[in-house]
Structure 1
Amino acid sequence: MSGLFGTLNIGKSGIFTHQKAIDVTSHNIANANTEGYSRQRAEMQTRRPFSTPGMNSAGSVGQMGTGSIVSQINRVRDTFIDYQVREELGTLGQYSGRDKFLRELENIFNEPTDTGVSNLIGKFFDAWHELSKQANTSNAKTGVAEQSKALANELNRIYNQLQKLKENAQESIKDTVVNVNHMLDEINELNKEIAEISFMGQTPNDLMDRRDLLIDELSSKFGIKIEKRGSNGLDISTKSDPNAQPPGGLNIVQKVNPDDVLKFAYVSEIVPGENVKDGQPGTYKIVYYKNGDMTSGKNRVEMEIEVSDDDKLSAAEKLDQLRQCRVIWTNKNGEAVNKEGKPIGESGSIDDLSTFTPSNGELSGYMSVQDDIDAYTEKLNKLARSLAFTVNAIHSQSAGNYEDELLFFVNKDGKEEDITAENICVNPDILKDVMLINAGKEIGGEGDGNRALAISGLRDKLTQIQNMVLDGKGKHNRESFINELGNGLIMDDELGVLVLKGNTGGSKPDNYFKGMINELGNQALESKRIVEKQYIRLMGFQESKYAVSGVSLDEEMTNMIQFQHAYQANAKIIATVDELLDVIVNGLKR
C-alpha cells in the first residue's frame, strides 16, 4: 500500500512500536529493586516493505517501507557471568557453612580462659603438687578432688556440646534438603511453563528470571550442571563428581519427561538390628523422610539394609559415611533408589543405597564439619583416657587393671574401661572420703607425699596420646597403653614409687590439648579467610552481572524521553496525514 493511507499506517505502527517500548521501560523502572530481575529491551525492526520484487511488480525507485514493529522483548543477560556467579556461590556456600560451625567449635572449647581445659589441667597438677607437700591434710586432698572434678566436668561439658553441635549440623542438612526439594519442585514447574510459552512463540522473561533466581540459590546449596534445551528449557543435574553423580543418568530438573526426576531424602535414624553391635556387619534399620520433611508421619519410611565388609570399606566405615552424609537419592515419589535409579523397596544392601555427597555448597560444608567435630571429639577422648590411665597407674602403682585397685578416675559406671570425655569422673568413693587418696609412698603412710609428687610430674611427661586406639580390635587398655606404646612405668629410686617413664615421640597433656586448639584456630582462620576472599570475588562477578542485567534508572529515563518524543512525532505524522486527507476529501468539493 502506498499513498497517504500507507503513510497513516506507518505512523500507526510507529505509535504502537514506541508504546510497547515505553511499556518495557516502565516495567524496568517498576522492577529496578526486584531481586533477580533482568532488564528487558524491546527489539525494534522494520516491517515487511511494500512491493516485493517480481515479474508483475510495478517499476519504482525501490521498496517502500511500511513502518516498524517490536519483534521481541528480550532479557539482557550474560550466561558466562551467570556461570561464574554460580561457581562462586557454591564455594562461598561451602565455606560459609564450615565457618559458622567452626566458630561455634571455638566457642565450645572456650580457650584461652580461666575456665578452659588448658587452665584446669594446670590447676589439676598444681593441686597434686600442693598435696605432695601436705600429704596428711584433708584440705590439700579436698583441693585435689575439687580440681579433678572441675577438669572432668569440663571435659564432660565439651563432649556434650560437641555432640549437640553435630546434631545442629545434621539439622542444618535436613533443613537444606527440605528447601532444596521445594526449590526443585518450583524450578520444574517453571521449566515446564517456560517451555510451553516459548513453544507458542512468546518469550516468558519474568518466569525465566524467577527460574534463574532459584537456580542461583540452588547453586549455593551444592554444585550444579546446566544444559540448555529447546524452547528455553533446561536440564539441571549435579556436578560430575562421582560421589555427587545422580543415579541412573537422571536429572533433578529436565525438560523431557519432567516428572521422571530425582529428589533427596534425609536419613534420621540408623539402628543396628537385633544381636548386631553397632559398626559390625549385619542388618540395620534406617529411617528416612521423603523430601526431608519430618513434619508429617506420612513421609516416614523404614528400610532394612544389609551392611557388610568389602575390599575397600569396612561395615563401620560405610555406616560412618551414611551418618555423615544423611542425604540419599529418591525418585519423585520419595522411594530410595539404587545406582541404576530404580526403587530399592523395603530392604536392600547399603551398597545399593545411593547417597549424595556434593563437592561444594552449603551441604558439603555441613557434611564436612561433622568430620571435624568427630576428629576433635576423638582427640578429646584420647586426652581424657590417657589422663585417666596415667593417673590411675601411679595412684594404684600398677600398669594393670585390677578390680581391687582404688581407681582415681573412672567412667560413670565406676570402671576404668572405655573412659571418654563424655563419662570421665572422679571415683565417687574418693569424693565421699578424700582421705582415700593415695598421696604417699605406702598406702597409709601419707607423710612423704611421694606418690602425689609423681602424679604432679605427669604434666611434664611425654606420652603417646596421639597413637592411642579407642575402639576396634586394637583398642588400648591401661596396660597396653603404658607398655605397648612405650610409655612405661619405672621405679624412681629417690621417691621410692613407680613413675611414668614417658616416650620422646609423645606429647605432654597440656601441649596435646593446646595443639588441638591451635589446629582448630588455624582451621577457623583459614575458613574465615576463604569466606572473605570468596565474598570479594563474588561481589566482583555480581557487579559485572548488575552492569549487564541491572536496571539503571538514569538510562531508563533517557529511553523514556526518547520513546516519548518518537511517539509524539508519529502522532504528528498521523495528524498531518489527517489534514491532507481532509484537503482531498473535503477541499476538492469547493
Structure 2
Amino acid sequence: MIRIISWKKTNQDSQKLLESNVTDVNSYLNQINELNKEIRSVSAVGQTPNDLMDKRDNLVDKLSEKFGIKLDRDKLDTINLSSTEYPDSAFVKSDPNDTDYSRLSYIDTVTAATDSSGNLTGDVTVKYYPLGNENSTLQTVTIKTGSATDAKSLKDELTQCRILITDKDGKLTMKDSSNKEVEVGDGGTVSASQLTELKTKIFQTYKYDTSSGTAVNNVDNNHVKGDIAANQSVQETIQGYMDNLDRLAAALGYSVNALQVGSLDTANSSLSSSELIFVTYDETNKTTTSTDKGLTAKNIRINANLLADTSKLNCNTSSASGEGDGKRANAIANLNTIKMNFSNIAAGTDFSKIDRKSFLTSVGMSGTTGFSDNDCLKLNAGTTGSTVDSYYKSVINNIAVATQEASRQQDSQEDILADIQDQRSQVSGVSLDEETTNLIQYQHAYQANAKVISTIDELLDVVINGLKK
C-alpha cells in the first residue's frame, strides 16, 4: 500500500508539472506576441530591431523545450508560430490585428457519470482552469459521448493529457451548425456529434492519436518532443506499475478470502462477509467495508472484525470459524505455490467492477466453488502463469530494467543535445578567435589607411607651401 501511494503521489506530481507547463507556455507565447508587434512597428520604418528579435529568439528557444515548434517567418521580420503536433492551431500570428489565436488551459478534474448500479452513463464532466490560472473561476463542461466505452476512453485520455487548446481568453470553442467557432461557456455541453472535433482540442503530444478513426494530432512516435510529452507519457507508465500492484493485491486478497469463507463466489459463501480476512477501505467514510469487491493495492485492508475477534478466523477443515486442525491456515500459507495468469487481467481494467469470482476465474481458477472442504485446497489452478511471489519479483525487476534504460537514454540524449547545440553555436554564435583575428585585420587596415592619409597630407603641404614661396 505504501508503494502504491508513493506512485500515486508521483503521478499527481507529474500532473502538477503539466499545470506549470501550461502557465509557462502561455507566458512565453504572450511575450512573443508582444515582441512580434514591436518588431513589426520598428521594421515598418526601415530599421532593424536586433535586440527585440534576440529576445524573441530566446523565448522561442524556451518554448521549444515544452513541445515541437513550427515557425514561419513573415514580412517585416514577424513570425507565425504553432506546434508541430497541432499545426492548425496558431499560437502567434504575424498580423497584430488578427486575434484568432490559441492558448492552453489546464484540466483540474475529470469525472464520468454513473447510474445507480455504478455503470457509466456516457457523460463526462470536465473542470478546467482557463489559461492554467488557479485564481480564475473553474469552467465546467459536460461531454455527451453517447456510450460507456467512449466515456471511459475519453476520461482516461483527458486525465492523462490534462491540457486543452482554448482561445486566447482560455475559453473552449466548438463549431456550430454553420461551421462558426462559438464558445462553450461554463456549464455548457459538448454533444456526441462534436466528439471528433473535441479530440483536436486535447493537447496530446506523447503519442500519435488516431482514436477517432482519423489523425487527431501530428506526433512523430519516433521523435517525441518536449517536457509536456514527458509529463503526459510518464503517467501511463506509472499507471501500468499501479495496475501490476492492483493485480497482485487482488490475487492475494481474493484467494485468501476464498479459502477463509469456503467459496470463490461471494453469493455461495458458508460464512458471512464480516468474516472475510481482506476487505476494502471506504475513502469517503474513512472506514473499512464488509466486502472484498473491488480490491486494489490502495484500498485493501485487514478486516477490523477479525482484528477485534481472532476466533472468527476459519482454521477448521470444514467451513466453520474457530479453533481447528489448522489445515485451512496451511492452505493459505501454500498459496505461494499456485500459478495464476495475471496477464488475463487487461491493462486499464477497472478493478472496482471486479469481484472475487470474476477475478479468480480470469486468472485461472475454474469451477463453481473451486475447492472442497474434504481436502481443503482445490483452487483448480492451471499450470501456466506466475506465483504471487514470482510475479512481484518480476514487477520489481522490470522497474529496475526500465530505470536503467531510462538513465542510459538520458545520457545518450544529453550527448546528442550537446553536440547539436555546439553545431548551432558554430553557425549562429560568436567565435572569439575569429573576432580577434578580424579585429587585428581591421586595426592594421586602419593603420595603413591612416598612413596613406598622412602621406597625402604631407605631399599636399609641400605642394601648397612650395607654390606660395
Please give the TM-score of this superposition, normalised by the length of structure 2: 0.81
Of 436, 441, 444, the residue aligned with 2:312 is 436
Of 128, 143, 159, the residue aligned with 1:306 is 143
Matched residue, 2:450: 571
- Shift of the 506–309 alpha-carbon distance from structure 1 to 2, 3 Å rule, reads farther
RMSD: 3.0
Please show how residues 262-277 of structure 1 align to structure 2 within 5 Å. Answer: 262-271=102-111
Structure 1 position 286 matched with structure 2 position 123: no
Structure 1 position 546 matched with structure 2 position 429: no
Of 65, 72, 78, the residue aligned with 1:233 is 78
Query: Equivalents in 2 of 1:540, 1:281: separation in Å?
Result: 53
- Shift of the 278–502 alpha-carbon distance from structure 1 to 2, 3 Å rule, reads closer
Query: Equivalents in 1 of 2:378, 2:26: separation in Å?
Result: 61
Query: Equivalents in 2 of 1:349, 1:576: separation in Å?
Result: 86
Please show how residues 454-469 of structure 1 align to structure 2 within 5 Å. Answer: 454-468=331-345
- Shift of the 524–573 alpha-carbon distance from structure 1 to 2, 3 Å rule, reads same
CA offsets 1:408-433 (integer angstroms, 9 cap, x no match): 11112232122221111111122223
Would you identify which runs of 4 or more consecutive aligned residues in structure 1 move more than 6 Å? 273-279
Task: Tell me by how many angstroms 1:275 deviates.
Answer: 6.4
Structure 1 position 516 matched with structure 2 position 395: yes
Of 375, 378, 400, the residue aligned with 2:243 is 378
Quick one: which amino acid aligns to residue 416 of structure 1? D
- Shift of the 290–480 alpha-carbon distance from structure 1 to 2, 3 Å rule, reads closer
Query: Equivalents in 2 of 1:551, 1:170: separation in Å?
Result: 40
Matched residue, 1:315: 151
Matched residue, 1:411: 280
Query: Equivalents in 1 of 2:180, 2:393: separation in Å?
Result: 48
Contact 2:28 2:59 in 1 (8 A): yes
CA offsets 1:166-186 (integer angstroms, 9 cap, x no match): 110110001011111111112
CA offsets 1:250-286 (integer angstroms, 9 cap, x no match): 4112213453321111111234569699883455543
Task: Tell me by how many angstroms 1:580 deviates.
Answer: 4.5
Task: Tell me by how many angstroms 1:389 deviates.
Answer: 0.9
Equivalent residue of 1:411, what SS?
Answer: strand
Matched residue, 1:147: none
Matched residue, 1:39: none
CA offsets 1:383-418 (integer angstroms, 9 cap, x no match): 111211100111222222146252111112232122
Contact 2:296 2:351 in 1 (8 A): no
Equivalent residue of 1:266, what SS?
Answer: strand
CA offsets 1:360-403 (integer angstroms, 9 cap, x no match): 31111111111122222222222111211100111222222146
Equivalent residue of 1:410, what SS?
Answer: strand
Contact 1:221 1:363 in 2 (8 A): yes
Task: Tell me by how many angstroms 1:451 deviates.
Answer: 0.9
Query: Equivalents in 2 of 1:448, 1:565: separation in Å?
Result: 106
Equivalent residue of 1:259, what SS?
Answer: coil
Please show how residues 154-169 of structure 1 align to structure 2 within 5 Å. Answer: 155=1, 157-169=2-14
Structure 1 position 329 matched with structure 2 position 141: no
Residue ranges of structure 2 left out of the alignment (5+ in a row): 206-218, 220-224, 282-288
Structure 1 position 206 matched with structure 2 position 54: no
CA offsets 1:473-532 (integer angstroms, 9 cap, x no match): 994322233446541323486xx3243221223321112222222332333233222222
Quick one: which amino acid aligns to residue 407 of structure 2? K
Equivalent residue of 1:438, what SS?
Answer: coil
Equivalent residue of 1:373, what SS?
Answer: helix
Query: Equivalents in 1 of 2:457, 2:70: separation in Å?
Result: 59
Quick one: which amino acid aligns to residue 338 of structure 1? M
- Shift of the 250–256 alpha-carbon distance from structure 1 to 2, 3 Å rule, reads farther
Matched residue, 1:245: 86
Residue ranges of structure 1 left out of the alignment (5+ in a row): 1-154
Of 477, 494, 505, the residue aligned with 2:355 is 477
Query: Equivalents in 1 of 2:174, 2:119: separation in Å?
Result: 22
Please show how residues 571-590 of structure 1 align to structure 2 within 5 Å. Answer: 571-583=450-462, 587-590=466-469
Equivalent residue of 1:371, what SS?
Answer: helix
Quick one: which amino acid aligns to residue 427 of structure 2? V
Quick one: which amino acid aligns to residue 190 of structure 2? S
Matched residue, 2:329: 452
Contact 2:123 2:151 in 1 (8 A): no
- Shift of the 459–573 alpha-carbon distance from structure 1 to 2, 3 Å rule, reads same
Task: Tell me by how many angstroms 1:328 deviates.
Answer: 0.7
Task: Tell me by how many angstroms 1:463 deviates.
Answer: 1.8
Moved more, 387-396 or 577-586: 577-586
Matched residue, 1:490: 371
Please show how residues 209-228 of structure 1 align to structure 2 within 5 Å. Answer: 209-228=54-73
Task: Tell me by how many angstroms 1:310 deviates.
Answer: 5.8
CA offsets 1:94-149 (integer angstroms, 9 cap, x no match): xxxxxxxxxxxxxxxxxxxxxxxxxxxxxxxxxxxxxxxxxxxxxxxxxxxxxxxx
Equivalent residue of 1:383, what SS?
Answer: helix
Query: Equivalents in 2 of 1:396, 1:277: separation in Å?
Result: 26
The alignment of Structure 1 onto Structure 2 pairs a total of residues equal to: 423
Query: Equivalents in 1 of 2:138, 2:181: separation in Å?
Result: 17
CA offsets 1:442-495 (integer angstroms, 9 cap, x no match): 4467453211111111101012333247966994322233446541323486xx
Contact 2:312 2:321 in 1 (8 A): no
Equivalent residue of 2:181, what SS?
Answer: coil
Which has the higher relative contact order, 1 or 2, with Cα contacts under 8 A spaced 6 or more apart? Answer: 1
Query: Equivalents in 2 of 1:274, 1:464: separation in Å?
Result: 30
- Shift of the 356–526 alpha-carbon distance from structure 1 to 2, 3 Å rule, reads same
Query: Equivalents in 2 of 1:310, 1:187: separation in Å?
Result: 42
Moved more, 463-472 or 396-405: 463-472
Contact 2:311 2:323 in 1 (8 A): no
Quick one: which amino acid aligns to residue 268 of structure 1? D
Please give the TM-score of this superposition, normalised by the length of structure 1: 0.65
Structure with the greater alpha carbon radius of gyration: 1
Quick one: which amino acid aligns to residue 189 of structure 2? G
Structure 1 position 387 matched with structure 2 position 234: no
- Shift of the 446–499 alpha-carbon distance from structure 1 to 2, 3 Å rule, reads farther
Matched residue, 1:396: 261
Of 30, 40, 48, the residue aligned with 1:195 is 40
- Shift of the 452–499 alpha-carbon distance from structure 1 to 2, 3 Å rule, reads farther
Query: Equivalents in 2 of 1:302, 1:288: separation in Å?
Result: 5
Contact 1:178 1:291 in 2 (8 A): yes
Query: Equivalents in 2 of 1:474, 1:407: separation in Å?
Result: 18
Matched residue, 1:64: none
Query: Equivalents in 1 of 2:167, 2:328: separation in Å?
Result: 66
Query: Equivalents in 1 of 2:118, 2:41: separation in Å?
Result: 52
Contact 1:464 1:487 in 2 (8 A): no
Of 348, 352, 365, the residue aligned with 2:189 is 348
Task: Tell me by how many angstroms 1:223 deviates.
Answer: 1.2
Query: Equivalents in 2 of 1:474, 1:268: separation in Å?
Result: 23
Moved more, 221-230 or 300-309: 300-309
Quick one: which amino acid aligns to residue 108 of structure 2? S
- Shift of the 309–509 alpha-carbon distance from structure 1 to 2, 3 Å rule, reads farther
